[in-house]
């Protein structure tokens, strides 16, 4: 209803007939109630229930309703459809570095691009966070679907301008096709999600169409996650220790703590098989904390038994380095074990710090200020940027075993090795060579002023009781 001033209102009319004594209709009484505000409230509640507040797109609930409705039609028409999961790559880093308000603007930008490019009868939704979903209907085959999504990918790759800055963003997409990859909402969404994470695992910024092998890999991740939780709860992890030897005196000056998984069915599982799973499933932080506590407790037990006071080297994962509260937790572990900070050495790899260099630098600086030694592990692989040596608060440089393999026989490698050792010494760093396997390698290291060495030539990683035997042997030799 419209008033004379042009305003519209919603009226709920209640009509009643007027009858005379003979029961004949004499007129109508109409009573109108202004329900404009009530209708507005109902519309608002509907929006809140079925639409995303940030982007204005349908939310997960409405998307499911629409997908189920469309699948019912497609079944009768025997037509195909494609359900796509879409995720902004490295969105957490954007939120952490730029702030959540900027992250929200980016999500809205992606929603706007999708709204421009994906039009009816197709459906778009924001599922939450940085995840979106698309239902493409009236599609014919996989190649057509991929071609259409590649065009969308190109649009999303265009720079996003915010203020005076331009951001280059990428997204990963997973595709499940009806009816090949699922005939209901649950199976299609699960398989599209699996395909998307498969793409993320392989480098991101691409489109992946679901295959059964992807699901098997995802299932293995889930099973490994469950087994890791069980292993922690049932004390299946063990620490082995590999000595580090001073190349001048020949004495053991440190031990590196190395985790092993004593699986009840598969036997000992080396770290390279389960640490990547632990990092992806988030279990690495709990495992890393267990290693710290166990190694420090063992070191203190050796000292109480009269064995020498030597450094304990412990590896930190990338998640631990970037995690808030790490410094406080390490302080607590040292206090509980009654250890001085200078008694431990924390090792980080280049890959652990490259993604969040500023954060890593801040954490490592705090650890060094406590008195803890910091070692850069696996130098000579990956980026091997000298920037790290200049900007990170390091004490020790560990040269990777792969680099050492060729150093004895290749002139260019020899020259690089000498340059690294000289540079490290000029910066006040000690140099540790990993993976020493031959007498020739040992001689080369001594002749080229390397400080410390570890590897199978000297001693393999061994359990605590064998370390005690090694201490006893060394003691007898000195006597």
Q: What is the DSSP string of 250-276?
A: --EEEEEEEEEEEETTTEEE-HHHHHH
The answer to whether residues 121 and 157 belong to one domain is yes
CB 242 within 8 A of CB 208: no
Whole-angstrom CA distances from 161 to 101, 158, 164, 169, 440 are 15, 9, 7, 11, 57
Q: Which two tokens stand for residue 280?
A: 């992806």
The answer to whether residues 31 and 57 belong to one domain is no
Q: Which of residues 386 and 348 earns the better pLDDT score?
A: 348
Average of per-residue pLDDT across 197-212:
87
In a domain, 224, yes or no: no
pLDDT attached to residue 42: 58
**Cβ-count burial of 347 within 10 angstroms (0-12 exposed, 13-18 middle, 19+ buried)?**
buried
The answer to whether residues 368 and 256 belong to one domain is yes
The answer to whether residues 274 and 145 belong to one domain is no
Chain segment 164-178, per-residue pLDDT in tens: 777 788 899 999 999
Band the pLDDT of 66: cuts 50, 70, 90.
very high
Q: What stretch of H or E contains 330?
A: helix 326-337
The answer to whether residues 311 and 250 belong to one domain is yes
Distance between CA 133 and CA 153 in Å, rounded?
14
Buried b (16+ CB within 10 A) or exposed e, 249-287: eeebbbbbbbbbbeeeeeeebeeeebbebbbebebbbeb
The answer to whether residues 87 and 159 belong to one domain is yes
Distance between CA 59 and CA 186 in Å, rounded?
16
The answer to whether residues 289 and 385 belong to one domain is yes
Q: Which residue among 159, 175, 210 closes a domain?
A: 210
In a domain, 229, yes or no: no
Other Cβ atoms closer than 10 A to 176: 24
Q: Which two tokens stand for residue 214?
A: 């992807």
The answer to whether residues 253 and 397 belong to one domain is yes
Q: Which residue among 12, 32, 50 closes a domain?
A: 50
The average confidence (pLDDT) of the chain is 85
The answer to whether residues 128 and 277 belong to one domain is no
Q: Which of residues 398 and 4 earns the better pLDDT score?
A: 398
Count of structural domains within the chain: 3
Distance between CA 178 and CA 142 in Å, rounded?
11
**DSSP letter assigned to residue 159:** P
Average of per-residue pLDDT across 54-82:
89
Band the pLDDT of 92: cuts 50, 70, 90.
confident
pLDDT attached to residue 342: 93
DSSP 3-state of 308: coil
Chain segment 272-321, per-residue pLDDT in tens: 888 888 887 778 888 999 999 999 999 999 999 999 888 999 999 877 88
Strands 131-139, 123-128: pairing kind: antiparallel
The answer to whether residues 153 and 43 belong to one domain is no
Q: How distant is the alpha carbon of residue 176 from its chain centre?
A: 24
In a domain, 297, yes or no: yes
pLDDT attached to residue 207: 94
CA dihedral 224, 228, 234, 236 (to 10 degrees): 90
Band the pLDDT of 63: cuts 50, 70, 90.
very high
Distance between CA 262 and CA 252 in Å, rounded?
27
Residue length of the chain: 479
CB 429 within 8 A of CB 394: yes
CATH number at residue 269: 3.20.20.450
In a domain, 219, yes or no: no
pLDDT attached to residue 132: 96
pLDDT attached to residue 479: 46
Band the pLDDT of 15: cuts 50, 70, 90.
confident
Distance between CA 233 and CA 283 in Å, rounded?
12
The answer to whether residues 99 and 241 belong to one domain is no
- Taking each helix axis from N to C end, the angle separating 284-304 and 212-233, rounded to the nearest 10 degrees, works out to 30
CB 399 within 8 A of CB 420: yes
Asked if pLDDT for residue 397 goes beyond 60, the answer is: yes
Q: What stretch of H or E contains 246?
A: strand 237-246
Average of per-residue pLDDT across 447-451:
93
pLDDT attached to residue 226: 82
In a domain, 41, yes or no: yes
Longest dimension (CA), the chain: 130
Chain segment 124-165, per-residue pLDDT in tens: 999 988 999 999 998 888 888 999 999 999 999 988 887 777
**Cβ-count burial of 168 within 10 angstroms (0-12 exposed, 13-18 middle, 19+ buried)?**
exposed
Other Cβ atoms closer than 10 A to 116: 10
Band the pLDDT of 44: cuts 50, 70, 90.
low
CB 447 within 8 A of CB 412: no
In a domain, 222, yes or no: no
Backbone angles phi, psi at 255, to 5 degrees: -130, 135
Asked if pLDDT for residue 48 goes beyond 70, the answer is: no
pLDDT attached to residue 126: 93
In a domain, 217, yes or no: no
Distance between CA 331 and CA 438 in Å, rounded?
39
The answer to whether residues 27 and 148 belong to one domain is no
Its pTM stands at 0.62
Chain segment 467-477, per-residue pLDDT in tens: 999 988 876 55
DSSP 3-state of 195: helix
60-68 long-range contacts, CB within 8 A, separation 24+: 60/125, 60/127, 60/128, 60/133, 62/125, 63/123, 63/125, 63/127, 63/133, 63/135, 64/185, 66/123, 66/135, 67/123, 67/135, 67/185, 67/188, 68/184, 68/185
CB 62 within 8 A of CB 51: yes
Residues in contact with 2: Cβ distance below 8 Å, sequence separation at least 6, in sequence order? 8, 9
**Structural domain boundaries enclosing 175:** 53-210
In a domain, 218, yes or no: no
Chain segment 322-358, per-residue pLDDT in tens: 776 889 999 999 999 999 999 999 999 877 777 677 7
- Taking each helix axis from N to C end, the angle separating 185-201 and 60-77, rounded to the nearest 10 degrees, works out to 110
Q: Of 195-199, 239-243, 270-274, 401-405, which range is least confident?
A: 401-405
CATH number at residue 100: 3.30.70.270
Which residues make beta-bridge pairs with 125? 133
Chain segment 217-237, per-residue pLDDT in tens: 766 776 777 888 899 899 999
């Amino acid at each position: 209803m419209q008033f004379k001033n042009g305003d519209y209102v919603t009226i709920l009319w209640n009509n009643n007939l007027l009858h005379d004594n003979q029961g004949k209709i004499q007129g109508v009484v109409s009573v109108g109630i202004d329900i404009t505000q009530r209708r507005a409230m109902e519309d608002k509640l509907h929006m809140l229930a079925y639409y995303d507040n940030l982007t204005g797109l349908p939310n997960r609930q409405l998307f499911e309703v629409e997908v189920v409705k469309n699948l019912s039609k497609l079944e009768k028409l025997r037509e195909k459809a494609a359900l796509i999961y879409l995720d902004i790559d490295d969105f957490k880093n954007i939120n952490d570095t730029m702030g959540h308000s900027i992250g929200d603007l980016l999500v809205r930008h992606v929603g706007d691009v999708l709204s421009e490019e994906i039009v009816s009868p197709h459906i778009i939704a924001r599922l939450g966070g940085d995840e979106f979903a698309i239902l493409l209907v009236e599609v014919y085959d996989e190649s057509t679907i991929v071609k259409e999504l590649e065009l969308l990918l190109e649009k999303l790759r265009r720079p996003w301008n915010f203020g005076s800055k331009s951001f280059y963003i990428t997204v990963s997409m997973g595709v499940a096709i009806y009816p090949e990859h699922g005939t209901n909402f649950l199976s299609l969404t699960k398989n599209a999600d699996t395909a998307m994470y498969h793409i993320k695992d392989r480098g991101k910024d691409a489109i992946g169409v679901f295959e059964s092998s992807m699901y098997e890999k995802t299932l293995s991740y889930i099973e490994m996650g469950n087994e890791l939780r069980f292993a922690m709860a049932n004390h299946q992890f063990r620490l082995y220790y590999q000595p580090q030897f001073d190349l001048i005196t020949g004495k053991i000056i440190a031990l590196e703590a190395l985790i092993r998984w004593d699986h009840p069915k598969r036997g000992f599982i080396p770290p390279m098989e389960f640490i990547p799973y632990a990092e992806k499933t988030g279990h690495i932080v709990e495992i890393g904390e267990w290693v710290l506590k166990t190694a420090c407790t063992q070191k203190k037990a050796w000292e109480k038994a009269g064995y020498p006071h030597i450094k304990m080297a412990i590896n930190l994962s990338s998640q631990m380095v970037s995690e808030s509260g790490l410094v406080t937790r390490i302080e607590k572990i040292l206090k509980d074990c009654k250890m001085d900070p200078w008694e431990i050495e924390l090792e980080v790899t280049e890959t652990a710090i490259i993604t969040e260099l500023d954060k890593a630098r801040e954490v490592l600086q705090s650890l060094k200020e406590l008195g803890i030694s910091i070692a850069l592990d696996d130098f000579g692989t990956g980026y091997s940027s000298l920037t790290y040596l200049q900007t990170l608060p390091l004490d020790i440089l560990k040269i990777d075993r792969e680099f050492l393999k060729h150093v004895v026989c290749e002139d260019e490698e020899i020259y690089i090795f000498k340059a690294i050792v000289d540079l490290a010494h000029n910066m006040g760093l000690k140099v540790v060579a990993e993976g020493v396997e031959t007498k020739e390698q040992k001689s080369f290291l001594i002749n080229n002023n390397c400080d410390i060495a570890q590897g199978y030539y000297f001693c393999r990683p061994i359990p605590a009781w064998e370390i005690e035997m090694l201490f006893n042997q060394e003691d007898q030799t000195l006597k």
